[in-house]
Structure 1
Amino acid sequence: MAIISCPQCQKSISDKHQSCPHCNIALEQMNEQDQRRLAARTKLQKQQGLMNQSFIALIFFLGGFLVLYWQQPEPGSWQQNACYGAIVLGFIWYLINRVRLVFLKRKKL
């Protein structure tokens, strides 16, 4: 009995299971090529999700910066604090997503 990762949810399961106990995908009906194809599709979907989150984080960052630049809110006002918050939140969120993408790309199927 060996421990493998499920091709869909990537959680550890026994190779004796006929279906994954986490996502209920039928493993006994899949050959090795179908399992690799499903794992590649799942990885691609995760990458696309992280890219979408990176894009939203970039919009936060640029939105805060552009509002701060064009509207020039008064120092100490809630508008200025909201702009700084959006800039910091967007920047940190973007960096975290990029690091997650790098680790996901390094992960073998």
Structure 2
Amino acid sequence: MALIRCPSCNKRTSDKAKQCSHCDYVLAGRSKEELSREKERAQQRKKEKLLSQSMLALLIAIAAFAYIFLEQPHEDSWYAKISYSLLFLGLLWFLVNRVRLLMNKRER
């Protein structure tokens, strides 16, 4: 009995199993072509999820920057601290997701 990667969720499951124990994807009776197609779909879903998260992070960073630029809160106020924190976190989240997208592309 060997462990294989499920083409749908990419988690390890038994090669004797009829379906994946994690996502219930039916493995039995599938051709290699169907399995590879499902693997490509799973990778595409992951890419789309990472792109959505990147855009959300960028939106947060832009909104924080716009607030700082337009309102110009006093440096010691909690509004300014929250705005700077959101700007930093949004940009950091964006960069992390971009690196994850590059790593996802290399896996193919």
TM-score, normalised to structure 1, is: 0.92
1:46 aligns with 2:26: no
Give the Cα separation in 1 of the matches to 2:74 and 2:18.
Answer: 64
Where 1:4 maps in the other structure, the secondary structure is strand
2:6 match: 6
Displacement, 1:105? Answer: 1.1
Runs of 5+ unmatched residues, structure 1: none
Percentage identity across aligned positions?
36
1:73 aligns with 2:64: no
1:105 match: 105
Give the Cα separation in 2 of the matches to 1:81 and 1:25.
Answer: 47
TM-score, normalised to structure 2, is: 0.93
1:31 aligns with 2:31: yes
Give runs of aligned pairs for residues 82-97 of structure 1, distance below 5 A.
Answer: 82-97=82-97
Give the Cα separation in 2 of the matches to 1:89 and 1:107.
Answer: 27
Displacement, 1:2? Answer: 3.3
Give the Cα separation in 2 of the matches to 1:44 and 1:25.
Answer: 17
Give the Cα separation in 2 of the matches to 1:75 and 1:11.
Answer: 48
1:55 match: 55
Runs of 5+ unmatched residues, structure 2: none
Give the Cα separation in 2 of the matches to 1:24 and 1:70.
Answer: 51
Q: CA RMSD, aligned part only? A: 1.1
Where 1:36 maps in the other structure, the secondary structure is helix
Give the Cα separation in 1 of the matches to 2:85 and 2:40.
Answer: 37
Runs of 4+ aligned residues of structure 1 deviating over 2 Å after TM superposition are none
Displacement, 1:29? Answer: 2.5
Structure 1 residues 26-69: Cα deviation after superposition (integer angstroms, max 9, x where no partner): 11131111111111011101100110000000011111111101
